[in-house]
Amino acid sequence: MGYHGISPLVSALYREMQIEAKVCTQRQAFEAAVAFARAEGLVPSPESSYAVKVVADEALACKEKNERKNILFVMNGNSNLDVATFKEFFEGAVEDQQFAEEQVQAALERLPNVGTS
């Protein structure tokens, strides 16, 4: 899933190191969503699937370190309207999009330099 916008508030929190960004592939997110649905009986929206994946990874890391931590995430919507997306996933039609580091760097270099205040 490509989402090409970030809210100013989220950007400010990231810039001030109040939050951190995590990356996962579309298939990893959907696999986590399916596991979550089987365990909790709720199917997260495709967008929330990414949060589910990161939360699951964080919980497993805490378990490995024998660390107790509260982990909070927001799961919006339910997937009644997104059944087709998960159907495509189960049929193997969902592909991960990955870009070469050179492409990413070239795109970043073309961005205008804007001040942050």
Domain ranges of the chain: 23-108
Percent of the chain with pLDDT over 70: 90
**Counting runs of H as helices and runs of E as strands, what totals does the chain give?**
5, 0
Question: The whole model's pTM is what?
Answer: 0.67
The one-letter amino acid code at 41 reads G
Mean pLDDT score across all residues of the chain: 85
pLDDT digits (tens, 9 = 90+) for 17-38: 998 888 899 999 999 999 998 9
Q: What is the chain's percent helix, strand, coil content, to nearest 5?
A: 55, 0, 45
